[in-house]
Every structure is written in C-alpha cells, then in structure tokens.
C-alpha cells in the first residue's frame, strides 16, 4: 500500500471514533442556520397539525397548503440568513493577508 492510502484509512478511522453528538455539534458550529431552519420547519409543521383540529370552516387542503408555505418559508429564510452570514464571515470579517 502506498502512503497516500494509509493516510486516507487513518483519517477514516479517526472520524469513526468520534461520536454522533460531537459530529452534530461541529456541524452546528460550522453552519448554525441549517439546524435552526430544520427545527423551525418542524415546529411550524407541528403547530399546523395541532391547529388542524380547530380550523373552523377552512378546508383541510387550504389549511395544509398554508402550513406547508409557512414551513417552507421559515426553512428558506433560515437558509438565506445562513448564506448571508457565511458570506459576511468569509468576505467582510476575513482578515486581510
């Protein structure tokens, strides 16, 4: 085996030793708006399903469409904020070399 393959295998082994929690925390630090968007999406859908019981005269299909649009809007908004934050961090706050 060449030394290049050894380094790939040792890199893989070191990653497999880390726990899922540490991987999740590392990803959350790198891109914090993705988990926030996922959590918000889940909360909006959960609230929409809760309100499904008390929708009154509103048709079910219309209620589900409104819930989907609100959930997607929250997720897209969080991802947009994440992209803007990463662009700000990389281009504006980046120290000059």
Which pLDDT does position 69 carry in this prediction?
92
pTM of the model: 0.60
User: Quick one: angle between helices 20-30 and 33-51, nearest 10?
Assistant: 100
Q: What is the pLDDT of residues 35-73, one digit of tens each?
A: 888 888 889 888 888 888 888 888 888 988 988 999 899
Q: What is the mean pLDDT of the chain?
A: 79
Question: Is 82 a residue whose pLDDT tops 80?
Answer: yes
Which pLDDT does position 29 carry in this prediction?
80
């Amino acid at each position: 085996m060449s030394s290049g393959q050894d380094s790939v295998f040792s890199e893989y082994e070191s990653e497999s030793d880390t726990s899922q929690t540490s991987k999740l925390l590392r990803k959350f630090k790198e891109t914090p708006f993705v988990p926030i968007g996922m959590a918000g999406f889940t909360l909006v859908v959960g609230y929409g399903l809760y309100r499904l019981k008390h929708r009154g005269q509103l048709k079910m299909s219309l209620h589900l469409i409104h819930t989907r649009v609100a959930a997607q809007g929250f997720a897209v908004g969080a991802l947009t904020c994440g992209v803007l934050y990463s662009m700000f961090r990389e281009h504006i706050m980046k120290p000059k070399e």
